[in-house]
Amino acid sequence: MEKMRIVMLPYLAYGHITPFLELAKKLSNRGFSIHICSSPINLSFIKAKIPEKYSSSIHLVEIHLPNLPELPPHHHTTNGLPNHLKQTLFKTLKMTKPQLHQILSDLKPDFFIYDIMLLWSAVVASSLNIPSLRFYTVNAAIFSYFFHFYFNPGEEFPFPALYMRDYELAKMTHEVADDAEVEVDRDKVTESDKFVLVHSTKSIDGKYMDYLCGTGQAKVVPIGTESPEDGVGDVDKIDIELVKWLEKKTEHSTVYVSFGSEYFLSKEEMEEVAYGLEVSGVDFIWVVRYQKGEQVELPQGFKERIGDRGRIIEGWAPQQRILKHSSIGGFVTHCGWNSTLESIEFGVPIIAMPMLYDQPLNARLMVENGVAVEVPRDEKGNLDRVNIAEKIKHVIRDETGENLRKKMNNLGENVRSQREEEMDGVVKVIQLLIDEKKGTL
C-alpha cells in the first residue's frame, strides 16, 4: 500500500527546524512519507541532519525566497538577520504562497503540518482541501501564557510560578511585536486549527496542557521529545581534544555554558559571564559567539588567567555530545527550548540565564519542575557576576546539584516513558482530521 504523504513547512530558524525534523523522523517511523519544504541553504542544513535510514522516507522540497539573501538557519531570525532585513522576513515568506500552492497541487499530500509562525500557509492548504495541523515548536506553558493574555486580557494569569518581571515581559513583548505578521490571517484559519501540536510532553507541562484543553479553544497534542540515538549527531565534528579534556575532569565537576543559536552577548554581558566563571572556580566549556561587525570580546587576559580550567569554543559546539558526558554537572543556559529538552534528556541540572522570547518562562517552568536554579539579575535587570558565580558553585559544589540531578533524572525517565503513547496521540489526530476532511468532500 502506498504510504500516506505529509508536507511540512517549518519557519526558517534553527530553533524551529530542529523540532520539525524531530517530528518528521517520528512520523516517518510511523509509516508516513514526509516532504519538508524550505529554502535551498536551509535544506542543505536539514539534509545533513537526517540520518541515512530516513533517506527514502523524508524528502526535501525547495522554496525560493525572493528579495532575501540566502542565509543559513541560525541567521534567519529576527535577531540574527541584518537590521534592514528584519521587517522583510515575514513579508518575504508570505510571498512564497504561490510556490506552496504549486507544491501542494503537485504532491497532493494527505496532510499538511505548518509552523504556527506561518499561519497563512493553512489557508493555502485549505483552499486545496488538504487537512492541516499547526505546530507550536515550544511548550504548552508558553502557549497558555500567550493564549491567556490574548483571550483574557486584564485577567490575572492563573499560574504564578511563571510570573515574569516587568523587564523580562518588556523584552519578550518587544521581540514578539516584531513578529506581528504572525497574527495576520488568524480569522481565516479553519476549525481544525483548534488542534495544536506542541514540542513537549505531559510530564513536563501537563497541567498547562490541561488548562488549554479546559478552555475549549485549544486542543493541545504533545509530540513528546526525541530519542538520543537519532539526536546526538555531530559525531564527526567532535573535537578529540575536547573529549580528552573532558575525560580528565571528575564526574559532574564541569559546567557547559551556551546561549543558543540566536542570542549574542553584549560587551557588558560577556564580561559578567567571564568574571562569573572565573570567580566560581568551577571548570567550564563556554561557547562564545560573536555577531558579525560587533566589537564584543572576552575581557583582556581572561584566557590566560583561566588556563586549563576552561575551554572556549568559538562559534558552534557539539552540544549534545558535551551534555552527554559524565564530567558535565550543570548547564548554564539561556533556556532555549531545545537546549532545555536536551538537558532533560541527558540528566544535567540547569543554571538558568534566560535572555529573551520564551526563555524566561522556560526557565521558570524548569524551576517549577525542581530541575533548575535561576541566576537572579540586578534591580535593573542586568546580569551580575557575583550571582552567576554563586549559582554555579551551588550546583557544582553543594548538595543542590545532587538534588536537582535526581529530579532531572526522574523527569527524563518520565519523558521517555511517554514517548510512544504521545506519538500515538499525534497519529490519531492526523487520522481524525484526514477522515473528517474526506467526510466533508
Among residues 75, 110, 115, 193, the one annotated as catalytic is 115
Q: Could you say whether residue 351 binds ligand UDX (CB under 6 A)?
A: no
Output the CA angle 351-357-360, nearest 5 degrees.
35
- DSSP-derived pairing of the beta strands 350-352 and 372-374: parallel
Instruction: Judge contact between 360 and 354, C-beta under 8 A.
Output: yes
Among 28, 359, 369, 418, binds ligand UDX (CB under 6 A): 359
Cell of 36: 519538508
Residue 41 belongs to what H/E stretch?
Answer: helix 40-49
Q: Is 199 a residue of the active site?
A: no
- Interface with ligand UDX, residue 358, by CB under 6 A: yes
Query: Of 68, 357, 375, 405, which lies in the binding site for ligand UDX, with binding defined by CB under 6 A?
Result: 357
Q: Give the binding range for ligand UDX (CB under 6 A) out of 51-59, 189-197, 253-261, 418-426.
A: 253-261
Question: Which cell numbers in the block locate residue 109?
Answer: 499530500
What backbone torsions phi and psi does residue 134 show, to the nearest 5 degrees?
-95, 150
Helices marked H in 346-384: 359-368
Q: Give the end-to-end CA distance of the chain in Å, rounded to a whole number.
A: 23
Residue 115 annotated among the catalytic residues of the structure = yes
Contact status: 203 vs ligand UDX (CB under 6 A): no
Least distance (Å) from ligand UDX to the CB of residue 289?
Answer: 7
User: Which alpha helices (DSSP H) does 50-199 contain, by range?
Assistant: 83-86, 88-94, 97-107, 120-127, 140-151, 166-178
Site string for ligand UDX, 261-290 (x = CB under 6 A): xxx-----------------------x---
334 CB neighbour count, 10 Å cutoff: 24
Q: Which stretch binds ligand UDX (CB under 6 A): 12-20, 370-378, 381-389, 420-428?
A: 12-20
Shortest distance (Å) from residue 317 CB to ligand UDX: 4
> Contacts with ligand UDX in 91-150 (CB under 6 A)?
138
By beta-carbon proximity to ligand UDX, the closer residue of 124 and 411 is 411
Enzyme catalytic residues = 16, 115
- Residues in contact with ligand UDX by the rule CB under 6 A: 14-15, 18, 138, 258, 260-263, 287, 316-317, 319-320, 336-339, 342, 357-359
